[in-house]
Amino acid sequence: MSDTVAEKDPSTDLVWSALWKTAYQRYFRLWMNLARSAEISDDDAKDVVQNVVAGIIAEPSRHFESLEHARNYVAKSVLNRVKAHKARGSRRCAWEDDVERRFAVNQADYEGDDRVRRDALRRAIRRLPRRDFNILKMRFYSGFTLAQTGQLLSMPISTVASREAVILRKIRMKLRKNGF
């Protein structure tokens, strides 16, 4: 990931890359969910994520091969941090306010391909057969586990699991057909 398009914030020395904005916007929830898996508060989880991101941005020499590479690196950093964070408690950096201000996730910020992909994904989900739609809704919107979903839909866990895999595969194929 090369930082060819960047802007320097005069209030800090941090150089904000357009690509990092994309990464933060795209993976913020993933990193937040991972942070929360350590059973810390939402505020603490947000602190950890923003601390990690700000720390990476502060190292302009750091390069990533791809967006996915950055995703995984930050994810692992977040997970390692939350394990330590639980022990030492919250310690907010000045950078973190900046990160929060600059990278506030906003649906309206989605542009171009991201927006088109998002619309294609929305259509693919809405066109699922009812049973598949309900499984996806319970897993991703309501946040139920496989067991809870199976119980609510009166289906064995194995059926929910296999069905979920098929649904995601179908959605991926539909997105590919649309060029994503």
CB closer to other proteins out of 8 and 173: 173
21/36 with CB nearer other proteins: 36
Give the one residue of 80, 90, 115, 156 binding other proteins; rule: CB under 8 A.
Answer: 80
Least Å distance between CB 38 and other proteins? 5
Please work out the total of residues on this chain that contact other proteins, with binding judged by CB under 8 A: 52
For residues 48 and 78, the answer to whether their CB atoms sit within 8 Å is: yes
Contact 96, 10 (CB under 8 A): no
Residue 157 CA, distance from chain mean position: 26
Q: Shortest CA distance to 38 belongs to which of 87, 91, 73?
A: 87
Torsion of CA 42, 74, 99, 5, to 10 degrees: -150
Based on the shown chain and the rule CB under 8 A, indicate whether residue 14 belongs to the binding site for other proteins.
no
Distance of CA 14 to the CA centre of its chain: 22
Which value, in Å, is the radius of gyration of the alpha carbons in the chain?
A: 19
The least distance separating other proteins from the CB of residue 79, rounded to whole angstroms, comes to: 4
Choose, by CB under 8 A, the member of 76, 92, 101, 115 that binds other proteins: 76
Q: Interface with other proteins by CB under 8 A: which residues?
A: 26-27, 29-30, 32-38, 68, 71-72, 75-76, 79-80, 82-83, 107, 117-118, 121-122, 125-134, 136-137, 139-141, 143, 145-146, 161-162, 164-165, 168-169, 171-172, 175
